[in-house]
Amino acid sequence: MVTQVRHPIWLPAVKQAGARTFATLYALESFARAAISSVVPIQAYELLQNKQGVSLLYTLVALIGLSATLFMPMLISRFSRRWIYTAGTALLAIGSLLFMTHSLPGQMVGMLARVMGSSALAITLNLYIMDHIRKTEIMQAESLRMAWSMMAWTGGPTLGVFLYTRYGIIVTHVVVVGFAMTLLATFWYFRLGDNPLISPGKTRAANPLKNIGRFVSQPRLRLAWVIAFGRSCFWTTFFVYGPILMVVTGEGELAGGLLVSAGNALLFAAISWGKAGRRFGARNVMTFAFLAMSAALFAAGLSGEGLPLLTGGFLLLGALFAVALDALGSTAFMRAVRTYERPQMTAVYRTYLDLSELIPPLVYTVVLSFFGLGAVFATLGVFTIFCGVVTFRYLPKSM
């Protein structure tokens, strides 16, 4: 018939987006980011030859990245989500192309491109998850997403350093570009689209200051932010001060790298924590995880630099409980945010990651002026106790 339209056979074959869809996308994104997570600071130090200079560079990039995160809803309201996600993927690739120049301007702009790309991907992916995953299934979906990213964050940093030291800068970043392009092709294969039900939200103000005020005015969103910030502070401390502990005590850089890899490998436990959350309730499991993490941090603080391997073991124990918060923590936000303001509130929620990379190092700088490295872990332990108490007190029992 003349009016009959023939569609490509493969188009209807794509299944409706579900937990495995987003786990696949997140795993590919994790490979693109993790492969040079250890290479970027090495390159920065080679260029600056100064630790304080590297810290200043990271702080500057983090501040600009925080601004970009807050303005992301304005871009989402102007363009469709699929194009923001595409731009985020492209920025990961562009960042690696800039790193290949091995120059200070290329390093700075490349780091900024990666931060902005990661922000775009995180916000849009969370919006897609909230569109396609039922609230009662979010815990299972999030635990699966964390577990699937385990291979990337366990092997990625080691792979990146190996390629960088053995084959040089070009090959290392070409691999990242390859992962980014694979992610982009996979994303467009799944053909994720915008949810028309949230379109009214576009008429609301996208001013970052108004979004922050709106976010802070909602107790459930404030609580979700505190939970995410607490777990992210642990990971920032673990990734930075765990390796420093091993180097300072003479255990060596390899021991520090193995500690980080072992911590990332614990992400496989995310599925088990998800099941525990569904059986015992997310509130109870997250409260337990915060308090158990605090105990592990206090133990690490006591052993400190005197028994570095034992301290590393306590930090790994803390990482196991941090994985529980990775698997369940996002549930508090995804169940609380209103449909019509998801883009705006997701952007503000995402600031927990930027601030967790800024605030803890500033606090630890003061702590280290008076005490040893073990005090860093004990200080974090005090804060995670606070997070546990707040979680138990204010998170609804129904979660």
Alpha helices in the chain (DSSP H): 19-34, 39-48, 51-78, 81-99, 104-132, 138-148, 150-166, 169-190, 208-216, 219-248, 253-265, 270-280, 282-303, 308-336, 342-349, 351-356, 359-368, 374-394
Q: Which among 249, 253, 230 is positioned nearest to 373, based on CA atoms?
A: 249
- Report residue 336 as tokens: 């609380």
CA angle 79, 225, 281 (to 5 degrees): 115
**What is the model's pLDDT at position 223?**
93
pLDDT of residue 268: 83
Low pLDDT (below 50) residues in the chain: 1-12, 197-203, 205
pTM: 0.77
Query: In sequence order, what are the residues at sequence separation of 6 or more whose Cβ sits closer than 8 angstroms to the Cβ of residue 81?
Result: 124, 127, 128, 192, 193, 194
Q: What is the pLDDT of residue 183?
A: 95
Instruction: Write down the pLDDT at residue 399.
Output: 63
**Per-residue model confidence (pLDDT) at position 311:** 93
CA dist list (Å): 209 to 71, 206, 323, 351, 359: 10, 9, 32, 13, 20
